[in-house]
Structure 1
Amino acid sequence: MTATNATGTGIPPLHVRDLTVRFAGLTALDAISLTVAPGTVHAVIGPNGAGKSTCFNVLSGVYRATAGTVHLGDQELTGLPPHRIAGLGVARIFQNLALPPRTTVADSLLLGRHRLTRAGFLAAGLRLPAAVREEHRHRERVREIAEFVGIADQLSTPTGALPYGQQKLAELARALCMEPRVLLLDEPVAGMTADERRRTAAVVAGVRDSLGISIVLVEHDMGVVMRLADEVTVLDFGRRIAGGPPDRVQNDPAVIQAYLGAPAEGSAPAKSSVPAKGSAPAEGEARA
């Protein structure tokens, strides 16, 4: 897999314009705009309740926007159901594990190939030659992707028997099996040990650098965000308060105030505890 999708078409930018979501009078997102450049990692961060999950739910079709638009290149995603958005090349992994625990890793990853399967139910059930050949191609691709994320030696293992960190990698691999153009990662390192976080962050960096897939990342581990992100959008109370490269965002006064609170009158300004891009996260570092 290269920096193109399965059909060979270049990966387009993802444009979010004036995205607004209201629930019974409560504004969860207030005219949010951002652009995810092709083949980059764009992090969406902010304190709890800032609107990050709502934004992801609109991008993946779980929620409908009250106003605004989402475009993947020339294709409008606004208002499309989740399966249509997935069919256009947008894959998502959720914070909570969603793997069938008794199914082998290989078969779990094969589920990600469903949108690319052309053989019908009858042909597959009768094991017709064309269906058998297609299944073989899909299983070969599953093995390649499992090798890429580092779980190829676990393909015959039930997913429920994997350590937590490897289960998260299996979910990432299943999303990659869709051959996505855009990958939505919702807290991919949540609950991991420091070693698991480093390993998963390296895989995510490889997805961008080796496969050229655009990534939208929501993550509370600021060390991971600052090391991986090419661009950061910061939300607070449903509004965009800052955006730009990580080095600039981490020193933005509005961002520091949102995370740490306004300094007391007459005291020295609060300093950001967000580590610089490329630095290793300390144990117990500040989280969004």
Structure 2
Amino acid sequence: MTAPAARLAVRNVTVRFAGLTALDDVSFTVEPGTVHALIGPNGAGKSTCFNVLSGVYRAASGSVEYGGRELTGMAPHAITGLGIARTFQNIVLTAGTVAENLMLGRHRLTRAGFAATALGLPSAVREQRRHRARAAEIADFLGLGPYFDRPVGPLPYGVRKRVEIARALCTEPGLLLLDEPVAGMNPTERLAMADTVAAIREALGISILLVEHDMGMVMRLADAVTVLDFGRRIADGTPEAVQQDPAVVRAYLGQEEPA
């Protein structure tokens, strides 16, 4: 069952690497059930922010709360256990079939122990059947039904991107972190993926934090946008307001603020 969406509050987060400040006092809030875009030029700190939220990096200072629980210092698997899942800009999939990759996402929800599963005890077999059935439902939802029992490796790039999203959804998250879901796709694939992201929010009611360079997709899908530049937040608000913000225009286009 999908975890209930909860409020994500990022407060004054700073991250440093060997004297370099990658995030500088960054704050923003993702409200439950919304699509929130995190945008900015290359090197703005977006991936660093995602790595903090998913437990890969630890902030030097600041706070990250999800549903009132402090995430700072938590291990990645513990954060996943709270109902936060992420995808990666570069596809991260294992060898094997689509079904096997999706079943990896069901691992945190599995109750049968290793011994019971290895011995094929009836309770473990029944549980695995339930998880596989749910994985098949999620695959169908993302248009992956025809590929469910096929090896991932030879599949087209756009299909493999969907497999990664499906794997994340198989953890039944309340918050989905999508890192550039349309990177490397052609225009037709981009439009289809935008429809998929909208459908995920509509059907599952979960929150989505989206890092994306496709501004058309961002303006179409996002309820709110936070803009980073050189590790600092320079704008935060509705897509329309952010799009017209002079600081955002300068960051993206190098233009001077109009007189």
Query: With structure 1 as the length reference, what TM-score do the two structures score?
Result: 0.88
Aligned residue number for residue 242 of structure 1:
235
Aligned residue number for residue 85 of structure 1:
79
1:199 is paired with a residue whose SS is: helix
**Structure 2: gaps spanning 5 or more residues:** none
Q: Percent identity?
A: 66
> Could you tell me how far apart the structure 1 residues matched to 2:192 and 2:38 are?
21
What one-letter code is carried by the residue in structure 2 that aligns with 1:163? P
Aligned residue number for residue 131 of structure 1:
124
TM alignment of 1:93-242, pairs within 5 A: 93-101=87-95, 103-242=96-235
What whole-Å deviation, never above 9, does each CA across 1:35-85 have from its counterpart, x for those lacking one? Answer: 100111111001111111110110001100000000001111011111111
What one-letter code is carried by the residue in structure 2 that aligns with 1:110? M
How far has the Cα of 1:263 moved from its partner?
3.3
Aligned residue number for residue 17 of structure 2:
23
How far has the Cα of 1:134 moved from its partner?
0.2
> Could you tell me how far apart the structure 2 residues matched to 1:94 and 1:19 are?
21
> Could you tell me how far apart the structure 1 residues matched to 2:102 and 2:191 are?
23
Find runs of 4+ consecutive structure 1 residues off by over 3 angstroms. Answer: none
TM alignment of 1:274-285, pairs within 5 A: none
> Could you tell me how far apart the structure 2 residues matched to 1:254 and 1:85 are?
34
What whole-Å deviation, never above 9, does each CA across 1:162-196 have from its counterpart, x for those lacking one? Answer: 11000000100000000011111111100001111
How far has the Cα of 1:235 moved from its partner?
0.5
**Equivalent residues, number:** 259
> Could you tell me how far apart the structure 1 residues matched to 2:77 and 2:162 are?
22
How far has the Cα of 1:251 moved from its partner?
0.5
> Could you tell me how far apart the structure 2 residues matched to 1:202 and 1:173 are?
15
Tell which has more relative contact order, 1 or 2 (C-alpha 8 A, sep 6+). Answer: 2
Q: Is residue 2:254 matched to residue 1:258?
A: no
What whole-Å deviation, never above 9, does each CA across 1:146-173 have from its counterpart, x for those lacking one? Answer: 0111111110110012110000001000
What one-letter code is carried by the residue in structure 1 that aligns with 2:51? N
2:252 is paired with a residue whose SS is: helix
What whole-Å deviation, never above 9, does each CA across 1:80-109 have from its counterpart, x for those lacking one? Answer: 1111111111101001111123x1111110
What one-letter code is carried by the residue in structure 1 that aligns with 2:255? A
Aligned residue number for residue 60 of structure 1:
54
